[in-house]
């Protein structure tokens, strides 16, 4: 492990040296890339320096073993070093855990009402609002790509694009089934109902990520339904794209322009295909295990929102959170931080097991 970490420290010093190169200084893109990588590696330098200091304290104890004046001080420093070393080593292992190359991508968020009828549709709308609020708090840009309203209120499904720093890295643990327990407004006897909605978080794919062959697509145009104004309802502006090899279907009708709806549909389709390919590769490498944090299993029940007890339970963490109204207003940082940390711990644990 140390050999790999010191190689990363050498990489930092090499990048630092390159920042004095006139050729690099003349290229803003190279400066940005080097600066970003140096920022990632900088904490490692402090850890290595502290590690070396602890090791020196342990060696010093051996060197002064016969000196009654220096030995007490050396013993105290060695004791502190011995306590600190496991923490340093744990932190250093984090630099060697595999990084998800998709963490910096933008996100395609899909929310769908599940079991529970009208109550599920209302809950799906609340989840969509929760993520939009969270994105707003993060300073991200958001755009609703497609939305189908339910007759009794709420939504049947919605697809949204989110653009921001580490959008996928922060939201990727939200994929799965979200469950709500509460007394619906229409319930006269005060009985608690359980409803569900599913969330899918996809890394946004670009055209360079994968090629979709035109012959693999069937594109249908039709008249939009529902509210939206005269031009939406009287022209064939809605677009349905079917990917024949996989059977994936994407439909967009929110825009008045057929071309815009087609571009949106292809963007969503590309991201779904990209996510499927990433999942296939991860399974081949044995990286996805049942119940693993970040496995992306959309059929897994991941969280319950219990209104009578003002409690949100994340089943993967086995942890409860209070302030349910605040969480539904987008106050997600604590839950997301816990999920990121748990995923990191799992990866470090698997590294230990393989060494």
Asked if pLDDT for residue 311 goes beyond 90, the answer is yes
pLDDT per position as a tens digit, 84-126: 998 888 888 777 777 788 888 999 999 999 988 899 999 999 9
CA distance 176 to 127: 12
Query: In order of start, what are the domains of the chain with their CATH numbers?
Result: 2-96 (no CATH), 107-208+286-347 (3.30.70.1660), 214-280 (3.30.160.20)
Closest to 276 measured CA to CA, from 210, 325, 229:
210
pLDDT in tens, 147-185: 999 988 899 999 999 999 889 999 999 999 999 999 887
Distances (CA, A) of 23 to 35, 204, 353: 15, 33, 44
What does the DSSP 8-state code read for residue 68? T
Which residues touch 14 (CB under 8 Å, ≥6 apart)? none
Q: What is the pTM of this model?
A: 0.72
Q: Give the pLDDT confidence of 121-135 residue by residue, as tens digits.
A: 999 999 999 999 999
Q: Under a CB-based contact definition with an 8 Å cutoff, are residues 178 and 302 in contact?
A: yes
């Amino acid at each position: 492990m140390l050999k790999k970490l010191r190689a990363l420290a050498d990489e930092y010093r090499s990048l630092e040296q390159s920042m004095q190169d006139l050729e690099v200084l003349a290229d803003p893109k190279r400066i940005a890339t080097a600066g970003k990588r140096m920022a990632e590696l900088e904490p490692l330098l402090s850890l290595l320096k502290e590690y070396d200091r602890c090791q020196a304290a342990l060696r010093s104890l051996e060197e002064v073993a016969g000196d009654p004046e220096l030995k007490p001080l050396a013993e105290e420093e060695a004791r502190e070093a011995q306590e600190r070393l496991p923490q340093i080593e744990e932190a250093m292992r984090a630099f060697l855990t595999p990084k998800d190359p998709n963490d910096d991508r933008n996100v395609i968020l899909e929310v769908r009402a599940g079991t529970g009828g009208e109550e599920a549709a209302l809950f799906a709308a609340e989840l969509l609002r929760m993520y939009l609020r969270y994105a707003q708090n993060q300073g991200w840009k958001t755009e609703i790509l497609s939305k189908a309203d339910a007759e009794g209120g709420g939504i049947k499904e919605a697809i949204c694009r989110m653009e921001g720093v580490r959008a996928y890295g922060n939201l990727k643990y939200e994929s799965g089934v979200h469950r709500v327990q509460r007394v619906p407004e229409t319930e006269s006897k005060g009985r608690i109902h359980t409803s569900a909605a599913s969330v899918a978080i996809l890394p946004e794919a670009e055209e360079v990520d994968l090629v979709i062959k035109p012959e693999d697509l069937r594109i249908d145009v039709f008249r939009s339904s529902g509210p939206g104004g005269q031009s939406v309802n009287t022209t064939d502006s809605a677009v349905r794209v079917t990917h024949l090899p996989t059977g994936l279907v994407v439909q967009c009708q929110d825009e008045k322009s057929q071309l815009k709806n087609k571009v949106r549909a292809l963007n969503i389709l590309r991201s779904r295909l990209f996510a499927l390919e990433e999942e296939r590769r991860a399974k081949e490498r044995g990286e996805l295990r049942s119940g693993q944090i970040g496995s992306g299993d959309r059929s897994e029940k991941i969280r319950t929102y219990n209104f009578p007890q003002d409690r949100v339970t994340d089943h993967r963490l086995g942890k409860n959170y209070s302030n349910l109204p605040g969480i539904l207003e987008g106050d997600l940082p604590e839950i997301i931080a816990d999920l990121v940390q748990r995923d990191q711990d799992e990866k470090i644990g698997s590294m230990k097991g393989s060494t």
